[in-house]
């Protein structure tokens, strides 16, 4: 019982710290991550907005998860492929930004992350 209480307490503290960090500069410089939600002609709409710290001119790296299927139990079913780079051209609102592709073949549902 004591072990379970300690685990729950640790989880609550960890989530609290994670939420507190999401508004910090550390989060914006190291963790800011979102998704490609649409492509309209040459513009790419990403689910990263002003609330996430998105700013015009920032470069985002684009990744795609590709299903491989695990050969053995415990193996990874997915691999992560680097796809290319986007540059934010305008921040639409707190949740979305418009970007252009600088490199690669970006598709809807790809993962984007602040270039480090």
- Radius of gyration for the chain, computed over Cα atoms and rounded to the nearest angstrom: 17
Q: What are phi and psi of 105, to 5 degrees?
A: -110, 85
**Residue ranges per structural domain of the chain:** 1-31, 33-114
CATH number of 33-114: 2.40.10.410
Provide the whole-model pTM: 0.67
**pLDDT tens per residue, range 86-116:** 999 999 999 999 999 999 999 999 999 987 6
Which of 111, 92, 88 is CA-nearest to residue 37?
Answer: 111
Alpha-carbon gap, residue 80 to 41, rounded angstroms: 26
Tokens at 29, concatenated: 């410089």
**pLDDT tens per residue, range 33-92:** 899 999 988 899 999 999 988 999 999 999 998 888 766 666 677 888 999 999 999 999
Alpha-carbon gap, residue 28 to 81, rounded angstroms: 23
Residue 14, pLDDT score = 59
């Amino acid at each position: 019982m004591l072990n379970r209480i300690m685990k729950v307490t640790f989880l609550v503290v960890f989530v609290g710290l994670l939420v507190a960090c999401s508004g910090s500069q550390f989060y914006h410089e190291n963790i800011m991550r979102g998704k490609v939600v649409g492509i309209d002609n040459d513009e790419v709409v990403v689910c990263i907005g002003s609330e996430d710290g998105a700013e015009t001119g920032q470069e985002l790296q684009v990744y795609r998860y590709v299903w491989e299927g695990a050969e053995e139990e415990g193996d990874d079913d997915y691999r992560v492929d680097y796809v290319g780079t986007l540059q934010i051209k305008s921040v639409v609102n707190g949740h979305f930004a418009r970007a252009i592709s600088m490199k690669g073949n970006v598709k809807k549902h790809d993962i984007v992350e602040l270039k480090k």
